[in-house]
Amino acid sequence: MKRIFTLALTIGSFLLAQAQPPAGDAKVGDSYGSKFKVEEALNVNDVAKKLMGGSEFPQVQITAKVVDVCAKKGCWLTLELANGETATVKMKDYGFFLPVAAIGKQVVINGEATLKTVSVAEQKHYAEDAKKSQAEIDAIKEAKKEMRILASGIVVTQ
């Protein structure tokens, strides 16, 4: 019985440690995911406009300001758009995470940009991860279109 308790405690501790964003200050020059050379990064607002016009970006480098990072694991982040909306970034193959310290930082993201319809359930899931109030979560009533980026790598630039 003592062994089972010890094993359960060990596994529980490991899982708790895994369910947090990585530690770090997200300093200028820090990179996450696959390494890449920053070349001709496009502004996130320009990419968003072109996506709405029907353009596709299977491989693009985007520069943007981070406004939120998943507080549970650092597994997604949101970027500020000029129209007051946000774009969501997810990490390719769930292969890397970003520290919460990246909030407010300027980054270059290497990846794929698409326009996606986000269901009510998915929006509520992200709102819960972002620790929004229950009233804010309950206010989500309809699907919305948003810019989605699948990042293979991220570099902090400011």
Express each pLDDT in 64-112 by its tens digit: 999 999 988 889 999 999 988 899 999 999 999 999 999 999 999 999 9
Q: Determine, yes or no, domain membership for 26.
A: yes
Total domains, the chain: 1
pLDDT of residue 83: 86
What is residue 149's three-state secondary structure? strand
pLDDT of residue 3: 64
Express each pLDDT in 12-51 by its tens digit: 444 444 556 677 889 999 999 999 999 999 999 999 999 9
Which range marks the domain in which residue 89 is found? 21-156
Q: Determine, yes or no, domain membership for 6.
A: no
Q: Determine, yes or no, domain membership for 44.
A: yes
Angle (CA) 27 42 59, round 5° = 95
- Residue 90 bridge partners (DSSP): 76, 150
pLDDT of residue 23: 78
Q: Is the pLDDT of residue 6 over 60?
A: no
Pairing of strands 42-43, 57-69: parallel
Q: Determine, yes or no, domain membership for 7.
A: no
CA-closest candidate to residue 110, choices 47, 43, 60, 57: 60
What is residue 20's three-state secondary structure? coil
Q: Determine, yes or no, domain membership for 144.
A: yes
pLDDT of residue 12: 47
CATH number at residue 62: 2.40.50
The model's pTM: 0.79
Express each pLDDT in 99-154 by its tens digit: 999 999 999 999 999 999 989 999 898 888 888 899 999 999 999 888 999 999 99
pLDDT of residue 71: 87
Where is pLDDT greater, at 151 or 54? 151
